Chains A and B, each alone.
Chain A
């Protein structure tokens, strides 16, 4: 805990929140595959009537910058009524793990 934040992992958490519908996983995984981003883990559940899908994704071999990936995800999500975002895993690690 006393060392600096680097070297940091390349892992991000992709979250999809919204109404459940056909093709969510297909849509998100297509975007990720196109970017050569590797899905390490995937889980989904229904919370407070909302569909929540969480993917842990490794960007070590990705061929697009993080911010571009974020943009592509949000852009695909919008017409489907889904909030799709990607955040560095450290946000969740810092808040929920000691």
Chain B
């Protein structure tokens, strides 16, 4: 009922194209993350959906209703802003009740819904306080509670966690996911943090240069990136891209032969850091360790292979002094083959 159709939305600032005919269908109750580096147009797109920014072309349809020219207040959505935008001259209670008061809800309903939202976000003890007396995390909760209190069919979030410290962010991420699942709200969540997007979203739309480069489930975006940009942006560490040359249907990696997706030509082999098997006897792709970072759950090795920088995940207990030579065996089923010239993934059927 609150599905969102974004139909060829474009935005130009003077000669600069910020959004290039974005088309996106979001199902009712779905959680979509718009992920991309700063300047990719994700916030602009969100603000166009909210009606806070004018569009140059295209339509936004929510629940079958074309709201492209509807003023923000009548679009039936709620929003959480990056800097929270909690009203400083109102108590937390009045902040959370604001949307309901504007809808002219009766006092009993306001009370009930504020209480519910406050309970959901654990802000009951602060209801009578002013926002100036709250910490960043608490203000953030107030902003989310204010948005949820109106029980919006659509919730827009603009980097809501980016102003929190790392630990709080992790905690809020988990809570947010639980809260929104319970509310069943269609959510569009803008972020530049790929971990956030991976952790929260049903689907991730990766944006780059005003276009959606790939839209898919988090796992698919992670393991089957459509372009080198997606592979490099999603996941930490970024995907390795190994330039290889196919000759008569096979690729030779230091004696390791892989079936090539194409008989001839230059390719990039996209391989995640954890998709290598390590061989201390030096079998497979030669890899010289430069730096080893013990990260607790695993050790991250950074090194070179034929002059190409690679990142490899190794077991946590090993000792990898610099200049150790290791052999790498990539998992052939998890390699993403890409065209060396265009940086776009080849169709995966051929690789399988």
Do the two shown chains form a genuine complex with each other? no
Interface residues of B (CB under 8 A from A): none
